[in-house]
Amino acid sequence: MNALVEPAVSLLKQAKQVHGDALVYPCSMGLEGSVLVDMISKHGLNIPVMTLDTGRLPQATYDVITAFEARYGIRIQVLFPDCHEVEAMVREYGVNLFRKSVELRKQCCEVRKVRPLMRALEGKEAWVTGRRRQQSKGRADLQSVETDSVYGLKKYNPLLEWSLDDVWSYVKENDVPYNRLHDAHYQSIGCECCTRAITVGEDERAGRWWWENDEVAAECGLHVMSIKQVVGEIEDGEGI
C-alpha cells in the first residue's frame, strides 16, 4: 500500500507547492474522493475540497459529505447550478430530459455540473481529480499531470495507477467514511437518476448513463473540456 500512497501524497504536495491557493479539489464523493479527502486532511495540505450539488444527488452522497465534515473538521464547499438556467432547461425539455437524447443529457450535465465547476475554477491554476486508469477504456491513456490545451489549467491525478482493490484497501485500513451506495454494488456514483449498480464483469463506469450504451458518451463534460468549450466557443467536450 505504501508504494501507492507515498507517490499519491507526494503528487498532492507537489501540486500544492506549485499552485498554492490556486489549487482546488472538486470531489465527486465517490470512493476515490474518500481516499483523497483523507490524504489532504491527514497531511494538512489545505487544499479546498468542493463538490457539485446538481439537485439530483442521492441522500447517501449528502450523508458522506456530512461524515467528512464531522471526521476532518472541514467545510466542503458545495457548488450549485444557476437556478435560472435549470428552470429554463426544465421548462423547455422536462425534468427527465436526460433520457430523451444524448444531446439533452449532455446539456443537463453542462448546466448542472460543468458551468458551476467552471465558475469555481475561475482564477485557479490547477485541480485534483480522483480518476484512475482502470475505471474505463476512455481513461486508459491519462497522465498523472495533464494540461488543458487551451488555457493551461493543470489537472493532477494522484490515484491514476490505483486499482479498485487498492482504493478499498486504503479506505478500510484507514477507516475512512465512504458512500454507502458502494456497498450496494454502485461503483461510479453521480446523480441518483443517472446511476445504477453494476454487475460482475461490467466496466466500473457502466452504471453511469447506462441507457446510452456508448463508451464515448460515458463522461459528463467535466474532464474533457476547456473553459472555451463551456462557453460555447469550441464544440466538443466530454467529462466526473
Stretch that binds ligand SF4, among 31-39, 41-49, 123-131, 190-198 (CB under 6 A): 190-198
Residue 194 within binding range of ligand SF4, rule CB under 6 A: yes
> 56 vs 71, which CB is nearer to ligand SF4?
56
Shortest separation between residue 59's beta carbon and ligand SF4, angstroms: 15
Identified binder of ligand SF4 from the candidate list 117, 191, 218, 222, rule CB under 6 A: 191
> 113 vs 132, which CB is nearer to ligand SF4?
113
Q: Which three cell numbers stand for residue 118?
A: 467552471
Is 29 in contact with 65 (CB distance < 8 Å)? yes
Q: Hey, which residues between 30 and 69 contact ligand SF4 (CB under 6 A)?
A: 54, 56
> 74 vs 193, which CB is nearer to ligand SF4?
193
3-state helix/strand/coil string of the chain:
CHHHHHHHHHHHHHHHHHHHHHEEEECCCCHHHHHHHHHHHHCCCCCCEEEECCCCCCHHHHHHHHHHHHHHCCCCEEECCCHHHHHHHHHHHCCCHHHCCHHHHHHHHHHHHHHHHHHHHCCCCEEECCCCHHHCHHHCCCCCEEECCCCCCEEECCCCCCCHHHHHHHHHHCCCCCCHHHHHCCCCCCCHHHECCCCCCCCCCCCECHHHCCHHHCCCCCCECCHHHHCCCCCCCECC
Stretch that binds ligand SF4, among 133-141, 158-166, 188-196, 199-207 (CB under 6 A): 188-196
Residue 206 within binding range of ligand SF4, rule CB under 6 A: no
Amino acid at the residue 238: E
| 108 among annotated binding-site residues | yes
| 83 among annotated binding-site residues | no
Q: Which residues are catalytic?
A: 220
Shortest separation between residue 55's beta carbon and ligand SF4, angstroms: 8
Identified binder of ligand SF4 from the candidate list 190, 207, 237, 239, rule CB under 6 A: 190
Strand partners, 72: none
> 108 vs 128, which CB is nearer to ligand SF4?
108
Identified binder of ligand SF4 from the candidate list 35, 37, 89, 220, rule CB under 6 A: 220
Q: Which three cell numbers stand for residue 128?
A: 485534483
Q: Hey, which residues between 93 and 122 contact ligand SF4 (CB under 6 A)?
A: 98, 105, 108-109, 112-113
Q: Strand 145-147 and strand 154-156: pairing?
A: antiparallel
> 153 vs 220, which CB is nearer to ligand SF4?
220
Please state the residue numbers annotated as binding site for [4Fe-4S] cluster: 108-109, 191, 194
Q: Where along the sequence are the contacts to ligand SF4 (CB under 6 A)? A: 54, 56, 98, 105, 108-109, 112-113, 190-191, 193-194, 220
